[in-house]
Structure 1
Amino acid sequence: MPDISPRLRRRIDADFPHHADVVVGRLHSLDQLVADSRQNPERMFAAVVRLAQGRLDKLDDASSLAREDWRDLLVGADFGNEDWPARLSDWLSAPGANR
């Protein structure tokens, strides 16, 4: 089971203050997909959280997108290019700023 990084957990807590544990549980429902994708787990989980924009219904939509095609998930979250580590760091360092 891939861990949720501390910086992603802080972002989840900021975006979903009343549902952070629910979000973490739903992210862990994607553990096998993340493992099979061979992508960085933080990148994959953060893409779902970013597309969710603080809403549980959008979290479900982002999770569905991940299951359909994880590459579309990464592109949609703007983590699909080679500069994704910098984009991810920037997004995770600015809690509350959805895009």
Structure 2
Amino acid sequence: MELTPRIRQRILRDFGEGEREAVEGMLTDLQQSLDRHVDKERITAATLLHAAGNMDALLLAVQDARDDWRDVLMGSGLEHDGWERRLDAEFGPAARRGLPGWRKFFG
């Protein structure tokens, strides 16, 4: 799975162009290590929220997510019901692919 556009945008905002490639690589590797039945964007977003633009904090959050992805959800605001609204508030709305005319409204 690729990183979603809103995750990529947040990486650029929080880390800047100089660290973008390294951060994207770490988060892509994290997503590949996760079980296919979990919401990978949710876990990736929680990891970024914990990092708050700090590379050392990102390394710790990635390790927490690898050890037990539920740990990284705690304290991120994405751990309870309604996490989708928080994700949209922090990262912007997700593109609604698959709906007729989605590009017209979300593209």
CA distance in 2, matches of 1:76, 1:32: 23
CA distance in 2, matches of 1:82, 1:28: 25
Residue 96 of structure 1 aligns with which residue?
Answer: none
SS of residue matched to 1:82 = coil
How far does residue 37 in structure 1 lie from its aligned partner after superposition?
5.9
Give a deviation string over 1:23-79, Cα, whole Å, max 9, x none. 010012213332x16221111111111111101100100011112211111123111
RCO comparison, higher one (Cα < 8 Å, 6+): 1
Q: Percent identity between the aligned chains?
A: 36
> 2:31 touches 2:44 (CA, 8 Å); kept in 1?
no
* Residue ranges of structure 1 left out of the alignment (5+ in a row): 94-99
Residue 66 of structure 1 aligns with which residue?
Answer: 65
1:1-99 pair list within 5 angstroms = 2-17=1-16, 18-34=18-34, 36=35, 38-93=37-92
Q: What is the RMSD computed on CA atoms of the aligned residues?
A: 1.3
**Alignment size in residue pairs:** 91
Calculate the TM-score normalised by the size of structure 1: 0.84
* Residue ranges of structure 2 left out of the alignment (5+ in a row): 93-107
CA distance in 2, matches of 1:22, 1:32: 16
Runs of 4 or more, structure 1, over 2 Å off, are: 31-34
Calculate the TM-score normalised by the size of structure 2: 0.78
